Chains A and B, each alone.
Chain A
């Protein structure tokens, strides 16, 4: 059974994580806009992402699932 402190901390953690997520996406939108008009106009090819980008994404997923398992163990 999780403690009161852990229960409160969990809610605070979710609040902070959601705020950071929203801020990141809004930052991307403000700095990049709707579409890559300049690239389209220049006709430059856009390659698929390279492996390091994919590995970075998979690393984030591994950390995310690890955090969930840790939360289940700690909050048991």
Chain B
């Protein structure tokens, strides 16, 4: 256990360092207009963007989630967690290439839906993205409160308030540039610390050989299944809901799209590929926490495995671990907060409330939103902390993706996809999955009771099927060239030469 004073000192050190870095980048990159704030001008290099993308996907939740998966199903929990987590990076590639061909001037990907369909489709998309991004922030902050509070003895609510306050301030200053630059530092720190921390934890537990033998002894008759990569006993409860929800979450996540629009157009698939595969290796490293937990304890619930295993470490190693947690947590929450600020400023304020808003006005709204939603995420996390388990929260977080991915794909590649079909598919899918989810957790209704992966599958089928059927009955005849910019000279910043950023 780290003392409260040391924990408070770590939080203060991290907060000051991140705010100072964001202030530096605010001055260096002149973050004084909306395009710089939201897309980093569309000219970020592949190293910066890959680091930012990767560390955004290295969720603080992984620190709790991977050991919990290992505690439930053994070594197979490693790939059941990590493979779907990086699947998003693969699935998003065709979407990203098509979008950057059709819509290189986009600031937020959701604005594409206005050009493709109209206001109603845009509003439906905004709603889904907004709650998905807030839920993403809640998941991260939940872990911050649980892990940092648990290891330092500081009240989790105080930890969460400090974390959200610091992140809100540095996004207020630097926007996406601030997010990506702090992400880069957080990326390097998290990787370096993990590379040191994991061997230290193994040494503390007696080395990998000792961990293996102790795991086999503690697990007894379960050892053969828990030490098999092909243990598929928990595939329905762990792998499938993750693959069908968070496995395609990247397509919906505005944080992903901000980085897609920020990187140079000729590096699009490269940063998604290296970033995605790299994330797998980091997530896989967290499984060692679960292995050590299984080797050291015989009667700890999987959900508590992380905290118990980390409690075995000496204070200085725990401090090292807390720094890793702060880095991966900050990088993800700041990305979601920047995304929400962009959504509020561009998609809600500029597109629907004040279409004549000046750049200054949009920037002010984006900055106000970054603080406002920091408060919303904090309040939602305080509510969630006492009422839901982490894995439940994590898996439910992917539900929004089931409504959008199929209709989005149809809109990009099928000229007959219509606004009526799109809105019907998205809205009905969300209503159906919300009902099924409520029934499964006995909220208001008690039947039918479906497994989470079945609810996700129903969501995908309803959204894609309805969009296709309704569009076939009431087709559009969309001309992609009406928004395509391929024939125009595209400037290095991704925009059209001489064109407006709008």
Contact = CB atoms under 8 A, between A and B. Distances in A.
Whether A and B are associated in the same complex: the answer reads yes
Interface of A: 1-2, 4, 7-8, 10-11, 14-15, 17-19, 21-22, 24-37, 39-40, 42-49, 53-54, 56-58, 60-61, 64, 68, 71-76
B93 A57 contact: yes
Contacts of A61: 90, 273, 276-277
11 contacts: A2-B75, A4-B208, A15-B195, A18-B282, A27-B47, A29-B48, A45-B497, A48-B100, A48-B101, A60-B273, A61-B273
B221 to A, nearest CB: 12
A48 B281 contact: no
Contacts of A54: 93, 97, 269
B83 A34 contact: no
Contacts of B46: 28, 32
Interface stretch (B224-232, B310-318, B435-443, B450-458): B224-232
A29 B188 CA distance: 11
Contact of B494 (A7, A19, A46): A46
Contacts of B97: 48-49, 54
B489 interface: yes
B51 A29 contact: yes
A54 B264 CA distance: 14
Of all A-B residue pairs in the complex, the 8 with the closest CB atoms, nearest first, are A28-B47, A75-B229, A29-B47, A76-B230, A21-B278, A39-B492, A57-B269, A22-B191
A33 B43 CA distance: 11
Interface of B: 28-29, 40-41, 43-48, 50-51, 54, 75-76, 79, 83, 90, 93, 97, 100-101, 181, 184, 187-188, 191-192, 194-195, 198-199, 202, 208-209, 212-213, 223-225, 227-230, 264-270, 272-274, 276-278, 280-282, 284-285, 288, 486, 489-494, 497
Given A26-B188, A53-B270, 11 more contacts: A22-B188, A25-B47, A31-B47, A32-B45, A32-B47, A35-B44, A37-B43, A40-B493, A43-B497, A46-B264, A47-B265
Contact of B48 (A7, A34, A56): A34
B281 A14 contact: yes
Contacts of A35: 29, 40-41, 43-45, 48
B265 A2 contact: no
Nearest to A47: B266
Contacts of B493: 40
A39 B43 CA distance: 9
A64 B266 contact: no
Contacts of A74: 229
B489 A18 contact: no
A1 B224 contact: yes
A42 to B, nearest CB: 7
Given A7-B208, A35-B40, A1 B192 contact: no
Given A17-B281, A57-B93, A11 B202 contact: yes
Contacts of A39: 43, 264, 492
B55 to A, nearest CB: 10
